[in-house]
Amino acid sequence: MKRLKEDGLELVSIRGSHHKFRKGEIVLIVPHPEKDLPTGTARAIAKQAG
């Protein structure tokens, strides 16, 4: 999440354990787990964020 903010995405809303980020037309829904995200999930989020 910290990295998404550093890349210019802004936190729009939070519902439960999901955080919604936006940068221009890109909207990402990111789960906020109690532990670290699995590597594949983190990679997929980074790919979508550009």
Q: Where are the domains of the chain?
A: 2-49
User: What is the reported pTM?
Assistant: 0.74
In this prediction, residue 37 carries a pLDDT of: 81
pLDDT for residue 16: 92
Structure tokens at 16: 């439960």
1-50 pLDDT per residue, tens: 788 888 889 999 999 999 999 999 999 998 887 778 888 888 888 888 87
Would you state the pLDDT for residue 41? 85
Instruction: Check residue 38 and give its pLDDT.
Output: 85
Tell me the HSE value of 49 on the side-chain side, using a 13 A CA sphere. Answer: 21
The CATH class, in words, for 2-49 is: alpha beta
Euclidean distance between CA atoms 43 and 16, whole angstroms: 22
Dihedral, 24, 35, 42, 3 alpha carbons, nearest 10 = 50
